[in-house]
């Protein structure tokens, strides 16, 4: 059944849809993928660049033909020029040795019309005759399907419940929020070494699970990819990344088995972030759909965008992209929009945290400290249990916007009868960041209220459970701060940045850590905040 589904999905996928699975298939065959396209105007002609085990460079151009045939007119009008340019031109990329030569491949989710085949044959014969041998190779649907079929087939869902979960996501229209809980359940049933009672996988089993997870994720994301729902795609691939790291760290898997997949998913997420920023750059408004209803979510959307773009800017900085137009756009966007950010719940805390980290790289003024101060006071104002506080309180990070907004606007109920006053999951961490800035007198003034709050946290029983959407094992801690403390002692805690409650591997990917915290805000801890702010200090 899954095979049929895979075939159907492949027929309907656009280039962006099957690019990821094809890149994973290359990785499975031992290729190192050095570039994957964002599918924007600038990158015509080479969607994937990869180097095989012998050091040969391969350049792939992907074309979606809806499972049908590439017609002569489409070939002539859209593809031929790109392919000839790809075959005859040079491939320039930092990871590819200059003048090393490359092979060019056209990849289709369909077949070639006979006339197109002849045209390619003619081109290739001419290259043989002129001695350059710069030919065009073609991978057609049947070959592509065979490649994808071998992607960890033994781990594909077989139980009806698992199949149902996959199908549910596969047929999701893909316009709304990504159902992260459902996806996590589905991906755990595929990447089985993440399950509580799993046993140590062999290297082969590990690789197969990762490939199965990748291809099934692409299928589950179908509707979201078609609709260019970049946030959903970013969240899904971030959760996939988290599951790969879980297996790697839990079972101490050799790096060469999982790292290519992590590199690939990082590139995918990076591209998606750039696509999202480009979409916003080209939009006249940040509003979506009917303004009569959209007004209620606009600031929630802006808050998330500022958080995501902040991570992108930090990431681009690390990649060496300093002063290009996109960086300038992100900087201007964040500067213009941050005042519209809305702390509607603790779910949004990682979005604020990301902006704070980015802001420090573009603004050297004391306003960065003021930003933290405002954030602390906002949480206290909303959540302190006191007589004159008429607020319902900020929801815990376990409540996403779709769950909380109806309650916030008084048109719906929370699933449980939570009292949101009196405590916070994120106050302590933000407070520590402020203490680091050494505003001793202000900190002393806010201290009484800090001690009036219960500081919540969740510590999974085993470190690897950090990567799970929900962990059945672990300790939910409610901490009442000691009333009198020494400034030096508080300062010492605030300065600590080892991130002792964060797993080892995620620390290699601080930008992805921020994205993971945005996808799973309930995993953000005080220690994590202190670590990431120290780590991303430029």
Partner 1 sequence: MLPDYPKFKTLLGEILIERMKKVMLASQGFMGEVPRLRIFEGDTLSTIREDGTKEASKPETIGEEISWSFDEIENLEVNDVIKKIDEIAINMARKQSEFAFKEITEAVRKVGNEVDVKGEPLQPKHFFEMIRKIQMQFDVSGNPIYPSIVAGTKAFDAFRKMFDQLEEDPTLKKEYEELIERKRKEWHDRETSRTLVG
**Of the residues 36, 380, 421, 536, which one makes contact with partner 1 according to CB under 8 A:** 421
Q: Rounded to the nearest 5°, which phi and psi values hold at 197?
A: -95, 20
**Of the residues 360, 452, 507, 535, which one makes contact with partner 1 according to CB under 8 A:** 452
Q: Which residue's entry shows tokens 């080209």?
A: 282
Per CB under 8 A, does 404 bind partner 1?
no
Per CB under 8 A, does 301 bind partner 1?
no
Nearer to partner 1, 130 or 488 (CB): 488
Per CB under 8 A, does 417 bind partner 1?
yes
* Cβ at position 490, least distance to partner 1 in Å: 6
* Cβ at position 24, least distance to partner 1 in Å: 30
165: which 2 tokens? 């979960």
Q: Restricting to residues 353-392, which ones interact with partner 1 according to CB under 8 A? A: 385-387
Nearer to partner 1, 199 or 416 (CB): 416
* Cβ at position 163, least distance to partner 1 in Å: 20
* Cβ at position 189, least distance to partner 1 in Å: 19
Alpha-helix runs per DSSP H in 282-418 = 291-294, 298-319, 325-337, 349-362, 367-383, 401-408
* Cβ at position 421, least distance to partner 1 in Å: 7
Instruction: Please provide the distance, in angstroms rounded to a whole number, between the alpha carbons at the two ends of the chain.
Output: 51
Torsion angle, CA of 243/249/252/258, rounded to 10 degrees?
Answer: 50
182: which 2 tokens? 């459902």
Per CB under 8 A, does 486 bind partner 1?
yes
Q: Cβ distance 190 to 220 under 8 Å?
A: no
Per CB under 8 A, does 223 bind partner 1?
no
Per CB under 8 A, does 474 bind partner 1?
yes
Per CB under 8 A, does 416 bind partner 1?
yes
Q: Cβ distance 403 to 415 under 8 Å?
A: yes
DSSP code at position 155: G
**Calpha distance 320→322 (Å, rounded):** 6
Distance of CA 173 to the CA centre of its chain: 20
Residues 6+ apart with CB under 8 A from 197: none
337: which 2 tokens? 């929009």
Stretch that binds partner 1, among 140-148, 305-313, 350-358, 419-427 (CB under 8 A): 419-427
**Of the residues 318, 381, 444, 492, which one makes contact with partner 1 according to CB under 8 A:** 444
17: which 2 tokens? 């849809």
Q: Cβ distance 67 to 145 under 8 Å?
A: no
Residues 6+ apart with CB under 8 A from 525: 429, 457, 501, 502
Stretch that binds partner 1, among 159-167, 325-333, 349-357, 478-486 (CB under 8 A): 478-486
Q: What is the CA radius of gyration of the chain?
A: 25
Per CB under 8 A, does 527 bind partner 1?
no
Q: Cβ distance 407 to 413 under 8 Å?
A: yes
290: which 2 tokens? 């009917």
* Cβ at position 392, least distance to partner 1 in Å: 12
Per CB under 8 A, does 470 bind partner 1?
yes
Stretch that binds partner 1, among 88-96, 144-152, 257-265, 482-490 (CB under 8 A): 482-490
Tell me the site size for partner 1, rule CB under 8 A: 45
**Of the residues 429, 460, 503, 528, which one makes contact with partner 1 according to CB under 8 A:** 460
**Of the residues 77, 370, 419, 438, which one makes contact with partner 1 according to CB under 8 A:** 419
Of the candidates 487, 369, 296, the residue with the CA atom closest to the CA atom of residue 377: 369
Per CB under 8 A, does 500 bind partner 1?
no
* Cβ at position 88, least distance to partner 1 in Å: 57
| Residues within the interface to partner 1 (CB under 8 A) | 385-387, 396, 398, 415-419, 421-423, 440, 443-444, 447-448, 451-452, 456, 458, 460-461, 470-488, 490, 522
């Amino acid at each position: 059944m899954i095979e049929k589904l895979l075939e159907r999905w492949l027929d309907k996928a656009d280039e962006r849809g099957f690019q990821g699975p094809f890149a994973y298939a290359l990785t499975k065959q031992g290729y190192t993928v050095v570039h994957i396209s964002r599918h924007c105007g600038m990158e015509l002609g080479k969607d994937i660049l990869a180097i095989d085990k012998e050091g040969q460079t391969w350049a792939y151009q992907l074309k979606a033909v809806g499972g049908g045939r590439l017609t002569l007119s489409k070939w002539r009008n859209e593809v031929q020029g790109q392919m000839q340019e790809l075959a005859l031109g040079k491939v320039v990329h930092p990871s590819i040795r200059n003048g090393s030569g490359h092979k060019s491949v056209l990849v289709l989710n369909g077949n070639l019309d006979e006339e197109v085949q002849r045209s390619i044959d003619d081109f290739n014969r001419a290259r043989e005759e002129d001695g350059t041998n710069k030919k065009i190779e073609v991978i057609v649907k049947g070959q592509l399907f065979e490649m994808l079929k071998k992607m960890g087939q033994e781990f594909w869902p077989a139980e009806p419940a698992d199949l149902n979960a996959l199908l549910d996501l596969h047929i999701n229209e893909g316009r709304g929020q990504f159902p992260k809980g459902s996806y996590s359940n589905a991906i755990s049933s595929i990447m089985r070494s993440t399950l509580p009672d799993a046993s140590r996988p062999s290297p082969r089993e590990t690789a197969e699970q990762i490939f199965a997870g990748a291809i099934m994720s692409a299928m589950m994301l179908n509707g979201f990819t078609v609709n260019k729902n970049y946030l959903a795609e970013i969240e899904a691939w971030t959760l996939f990344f988290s599951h790969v790291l879980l297996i790697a760290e839990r079972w101490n898997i050799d790096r060469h088995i999982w790292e290519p997949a992590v590199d690939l998913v990082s590139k995918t997420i990076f591209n998606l972030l750039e696509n999202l920023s480009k979409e916003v750059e080209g939009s006249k408004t940040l509003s979506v759909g009917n303004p009569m209803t959209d007004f209620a979510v606009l600031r929630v959307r802006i808050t998330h965008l500022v958080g995501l773009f902040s991570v992108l800017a930090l990431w681009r900085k690390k990649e060496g992209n300093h002063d290009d137009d996109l960086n300038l756009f992100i900087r201007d966007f964040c500067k213009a929009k941050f005042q519209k950010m809305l702390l509607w719940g603790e779910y949004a805390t990682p979005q604020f945290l990301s902006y704070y980290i980015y802001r420090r790289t573009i603004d050297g003024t004391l306003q960065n400290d003021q930003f933290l101060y405002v954030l602390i006071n906002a949480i206290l104002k909303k959540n302190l249990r006191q007589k004159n506080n008429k607020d319902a309180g900020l929801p815990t990070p376990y409540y996403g916007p779709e769950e909380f907004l109806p309650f916030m606007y008084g048109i719906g109920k929370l699933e449980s009868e939570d009292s949101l006053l009196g405590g916070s999951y994120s106050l302590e961490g933000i407070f520590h960041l402020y203490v680091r800035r050494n505003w001793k007198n202000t900190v002393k003034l806010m201290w009484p209220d800090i001690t009036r709050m219960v500081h919540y946290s969740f510590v999974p029983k085993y470190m690897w459970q950090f990567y799970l959407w929900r962990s059945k094992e672990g300790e939910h801690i409610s901490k009442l701060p000691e009333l009198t403390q020494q400034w030096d002692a508080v300062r010492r805690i605030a300065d600590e940045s080892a991130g002792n409650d964060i797993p080892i591997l995620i620390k290699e990917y601080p930008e992805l850590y921020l994205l993971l915290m945005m996808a799973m805000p309930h995993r953000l801890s005080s220690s994590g905040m202190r670590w990431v702010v120290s780590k991303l200090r430029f």
